[in-house]
């Protein structure tokens, strides 16, 4: 009698497992057995620095990776590896402002402009933006400008410093943060940090 009950319980458990798998997908152990690759949203990838950089962007509302090789822009929908599939993040998955373009042509135009701009022109344009919105001393504007440009090369360095704006009300801390957020590379603006977040 006990054996029959156990058989029925096991049969019902197996049936529940099957229903669960249909509704929510296989359990972790079964995923490994069936070689289902985990799909991971990312914003940048370079094959551990050994390949072309794949930068996630939004083109006409859809996520893609773009690459730039030999003067040409390539578009990639996903990167498949042995154990995982990497996909570009959707707009709502970004912790910062996504790079959005209306079309591939608009992206090509921006890249064409970027290729032809000198470092001095880049610095001058970036500084003019900070000068327009941030009312601070010249050395502060210089630091903000240089750091804003530097963020685009941060992957090349093992460490970074952070700018912390301290002051009383109405001295421009938020304005510095917002301007930096729009001029820097993948900036995450944080306000009111508590000790545990440092």
Asked if the model's pLDDT at residue 24 lies above 90, the reply is: no
Number of compact structural domains in the chain: 3
Q: Read off the pLDDT of residues 117-134 as tens digits, 9 standing for 90 and up.
A: 998 999 999 999 999 999
* Nearest alpha carbon to residue 143 among 161, 168, 117, 118: 161
187 with 155, same domain?
yes
59 with 127, same domain?
no
Distance between CA atoms of 194 and 185, rounded to whole angstroms? 24
Domain that holds residue 177: 119-197
Q: What is the mean pLDDT of the chain?
A: 84
132 with 157, same domain?
yes
Distance between CA atoms of 94 and 111, rounded to whole angstroms? 22
Asked if the model's pLDDT at residue 66 lies above 80, the reply is: yes
* 94, 115, 136 - which closes a domain: 115
Distance between CA atoms of 175 and 55, rounded to whole angstroms? 28
139 with 155, same domain?
yes
131 with 80, same domain?
no
Distance between CA atoms of 91 and 131, rounded to whole angstroms? 30
Higher per-residue pLDDT: 73 or 1: 73
Instruction: Tell me the mean pLDDT in the region 57-65.
Output: 95
29 with 47, same domain?
no
Are the beta carbons of 86 and 42 closer than 8 angstroms? yes
* 65, 80, 115 - which closes a domain: 115
45 with 28, same domain?
no
Say if pTM beats, i.e. exceeds, 0.85.
no
Supply 12's token pair: 């019902």
75 with 125, same domain?
no
Distance between CA atoms of 31 and 17, rounded to whole angstroms? 14
Q: Read off the pLDDT of residues 89-114 as tens digits, 9 standing for 90 and up.
A: 999 998 888 999 999 999 999 988 88
88 with 131, same domain?
no
* 70, 86, 115 - which closes a domain: 115
101 with 125, same domain?
no
Higher per-residue pLDDT: 23 or 102: 102
Give the pLDDT of residue 28: 57
186 with 143, same domain?
yes
Higher per-residue pLDDT: 9 or 27: 9
44 with 88, same domain?
yes
Give the pLDDT of residue 36: 85
Asked if the model's pLDDT at residue 86 lies above 90, the reply is: yes
């Amino acid at each position: 009698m006990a054996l029959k009950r156990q058989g029925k319980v096991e049969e019902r458990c197996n049936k529940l497992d099957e229903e669960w798998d249909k509704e929510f997908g296989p359990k972790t152990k079964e995923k490994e057995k069936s070689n289902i690759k985990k799909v991971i949203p990312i914003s940048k990838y370079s094959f551990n620095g050994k390949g072309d950089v794949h930068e996630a962007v939004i083109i006409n509302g859809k996520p893609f990776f773009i690459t730039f090789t030999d003067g040409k822009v390539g578009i990639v929908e996903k990167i498949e590896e042995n154990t995982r599939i990497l996909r570009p993040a959707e707009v709502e998955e970004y912790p910062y402002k996504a790079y959005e373009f209306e079309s591939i042509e608009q992206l090509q135009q921006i890249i064409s402009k970027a290729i032809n701009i000198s470092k001095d022109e880049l610095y001058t344009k970036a500084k003019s933006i900070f000068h327009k919105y941030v009312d601070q001393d010249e050395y502060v504007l210089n630091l903000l400008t240089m750091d804003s440009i530097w963020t685009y090369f941060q992957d090349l360095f093992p460490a970074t410093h952070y700018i912390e704006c301290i002051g009383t009300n109405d001295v421009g801390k938020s304005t510095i943060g917002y301007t930096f957020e729009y001029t820097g590379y993948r900036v995450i603006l944080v306000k009111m940090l508590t000790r545990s977040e440092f």
